[in-house]
Amino acid sequence: MKPYINIFYFSITFVFLSLMLALFYYRSVYYEYKSMLSYKAKLYNLERITFAKEHERQQQLMILDESKTKALYVAEKNNNLLRRQLISGSRRMYIRGKCAGMSQAHNHTTSSMDYDSTIQLSKNAGQNVLDLRAAIIRDNAKLSFLQKYISEQYQN
């Protein structure tokens, strides 16, 4: 009977060692998956925060774009009003200038005596001035929009 007892103990020991080996293996797999899950959770949170910041920046950009577009619209509306008034003749355009031939070396005692004068422009010249003004208004609006956008990006 003794050989059967040895085989019995040997088989119990073998089963016990097999179970212990399986336990260590599955324990290591569990910790590996746990660490991978923790890493994925951190990545997910980082991604979510990044998307939230990007969405916030897009909202700020939309608000900035809307305000600058409104300001540009008002300036162009005023310029078009001046243009229509110039065409209809209800408004005239004058430019203040100084006489180029006179030098600043002349020293006069009378304070009201200077070489300024106003010049009335023709309708075509007035239109050209208003076209330049409209282009300057658009360029200034674009520049201020870009400057504010860049400064906001550097702050974030």
What length is written for the chain? 156
Whether 144 contacts 68, CB under 8 Å? yes
Q: What is the pLDDT of residue 14?
A: 93
Q: What is the mean pLDDT of the chain?
A: 82
Q: What is the pLDDT of residue 92?
A: 75
Question: Average pLDDT for residues 40-60, to the nearest whole number?
Answer: 93
CB atoms within 10 A of CB 78: 13
Q: Where are the domains of the chain?
A: 76-97+115-156
pTM: predicted TM-score of the whole model, two decimal places: 0.49
Nearest to 136 by CA among 72, 69, 42: 72
Question: Average pLDDT for residues 5-24, to the nearest whole number?
Answer: 92
pLDDT digits (tens, 9 = 90+) for 93-152: 776 666 555 555 555 555 555 556 666 667 677 778 888 888 888 888 888 888 888 887
Q: What is the pLDDT of residue 82?
A: 84
